[in-house]
Amino acid sequence: MSHQPCDTAPKRPLTWHRLWEAACSLQCKATVLVVALTLLVSACVSGYLLRSSVRLAHSQQNEQLVQLAARIALGAGEMLQAGDRQALEDLASGEAHSAPLVYVSITNLDGRTIAAARDREADWVDFLRLGETGRRALPGTPIRFKATPTNPPYLEVVYPVTVESTPTNFVNEKVPRLLGHVRAGMSVENWERELSRKVDLLIGLGILATAVAIPLGFLVVRRITAPLREVSDAMTRFSRGELHVRSPSRRNDEIGRLASVFNNMADEHQRAHERIVRMNAELEERVAQRTRQLRQLALRDPLTGLYNRRHFQEVLTRAFAESVRYDTDLSCLMMDLDHFKSVNDKFGHPTGDEVLLLISRTISSQLRSSDVGARFGGDEFVILMPQTNEEDARILAERIAGRFIEDLTEQWGEVQTTISIGIASVRSSGLSQADALVSAADRALYEAKKAGRNRTTTASSLGQATPA
């Protein structure tokens, strides 16, 4: 069986329930997961890069500041030992005006400032009180100060100024002798600004990555979940009774195998359903046929096949009501076999049954489709003829009697029996009830029997028998 594509279902109106279903769908969850993973990876990578950059920059700045302070301390050692204040002033001024330093101060062992200088553009240096160290730190270890409302961020180091001592008798080696300290600072505002730009760039890249990840993740997840949704929709519609629906997914992965298994299952189910439908149809037809047969058995005489007396009464009631409503005539023929008991006594009941079958076949062959023939009881038969007057009924009665005698003589010449018939019509007899019609025909039959049998008598002319 070929797979029919899963046609698109009509679009339903957008409601809060459908929005909630969409938010709880696998596609939405997977998209959120992809975007969240993208953001997490981007944040981790960006954070690692930023942290590594900061550490590297701090290390380079610290190393640069220490090297500059060491160079100043090396030059200031001899000057400080010689007490050349002017030379120290020139050294401090020259170093303070050379990038990246913004201030330099040289102090003696007592902490008194011998020389100090600052860059012209560094107005904020006045607030540092160059004569004091502020935060205490180990010599040679830079200290980083954060930005304040009055000062930008800066880096400061205190470096020892030493000279080699003269060897003595006790110590042959030259030992460095501490003369004072060099305090140098450099601004990191530009670097902080550059770092801020990098952070802004990373944030922008993160936002861009998020903006790209959302539709990209949606498309990627949609490509994964679309076949699942097709299979799910096909299953849902199939469960609602649309047995022709199949999943159109054709893939070589797990989803494709799932769709293939569903389609094969649907084919088997549809074939089984069709077999059940055919069997049900056949069973219903058999039941209907059997019901018709049982109904016919309930309505007909089992020997002759004509209608039985109970059904004749039902037909008589309807036919008489129609006759009254539409003002049409209705005739009834009551028939009885003459001397039938002697036939049974002489030839046996099987022969008598054959005679009854012969008269029933003769009656059936002469009736119209609207006429109703029935076995009234024993060897009595009755015929109801709608829209038929008494004269036409008499003609039919004589035709039935004549045909019966011919067939009986041809088949059983030795069997001697005839038919007596009584006829009654609504109009000719002026009847107003259905049972009265049958009673009138029965009285006419009685008069035919009384008049010598083998004749037809009408209810309107009782006593005037007409030979058959």
Of the spans 145-154, 169-178, 236-245, 309-318, which averages the highest pLDDT? 309-318
The rounded distance, in Å, linking the Cα atoms of 250 and 263 is 11
Q: Does residue 149 register a pLDDT over 70?
A: yes
- Which of these, 360, 364, 392, lies nearest to 376 by C-alpha position? 360
Helix (H) or strand (E) holding 90: helix 85-96
pLDDT category, 167, cuts 50, 70, 90?
low
> Can you read off the two tokens belonging to residue 276?
């059940």
At residue 418, the pLDDT reads 92
Neighbours of 313 (CB within 10 A): 14
The rounded distance, in Å, linking the Cα atoms of 227 and 237 is 15
Q: Average the pLDDT over each of 63-67, 205-209, 315-319 and give the range with the smallest value.
A: 205-209
Place of tokens 């699942």: 228
The rounded distance, in Å, linking the Cα atoms of 178 and 173 is 16
The rounded distance, in Å, linking the Cα atoms of 104 and 184 is 5
Sequence-separated (6 or more) residues with CB below 8 Å from residue 402:
468
- Which of these, 186, 166, 160, lies nearest to 108 by C-alpha position? 160
At residue 6, the pLDDT reads 46
In this predicted model, which residue has the larger pLDDT, 91 or 130?
A: 91
Contact (CB, 8 A) for 386 and 321:
no
| pLDDT tens digits, 407-466 | 999 988 888 899 999 999 999 888 889 999 999 999 999 999 999 999 999 998 774 434
The rounded distance, in Å, linking the Cα atoms of 308 and 374 is 5
Q: Does residue 18 register a pLDDT over 70?
A: no
Average pLDDT over residues 229-239: 79
Q: Does residue 244 register a pLDDT over 90?
A: no
Q: Does residue 12 register a pLDDT over 60?
A: no
- Which of these, 80, 78, 69, 75, lies nearest to 108 by C-alpha position? 80
| pLDDT tens digits, 326-366 | 999 999 999 999 999 999 989 999 999 999 999 999 999 99
Contact (CB, 8 A) for 14 and 167:
no
At residue 29, the pLDDT reads 66
| Cis status of the peptide bond prior to 100, with omega within 30 of 0 | yes
CA distances for 316 relative to 185, 278, 312, 323, 383, angstroms: 131, 41, 6, 10, 10
pTM above 0.85, yes or no: no
Q: Does residue 22 register a pLDDT over 60?
A: no
Percent of the chain with pLDDT over 70: 86
The CATH number of the structural domain formed by 309-467 is: 3.30.70.270
Contact (CB, 8 A) for 92 and 115:
yes
CA distances for 444 relative to 8, 288, 333, 336, 394, angstroms: 78, 42, 9, 11, 12
Contact (CB, 8 A) for 246 and 266:
yes
pLDDT category, 132, cuts 50, 70, 90?
very low
Query: What would the 3-class secondary structure string for 401-441 be?
Result: HHHHHHHHHHHCCCCCCCEEEEEEEHHHHCCCCHHHHHHHH
Sequence-separated (6 or more) residues with CB below 8 Å from residue 270:
1, 243, 244
Contact (CB, 8 A) for 466 and 456:
yes
Contact (CB, 8 A) for 35 and 214:
yes
| pLDDT tens digits, 104-124 | 888 888 888 888 888 776 665
User: Is the domain covering 1-240 a CATH 3.30.1490.20 domain?
Assistant: no
Give just the sign of the alpha carbon dihedral 91, 93, 99, 102: positive
At residue 256, the pLDDT reads 75
Q: Does residue 192 register a pLDDT over 70?
A: yes
- Which of these, 180, 168, 195, lies nearest to 139 by C-alpha position? 180
At residue 131, the pLDDT reads 40
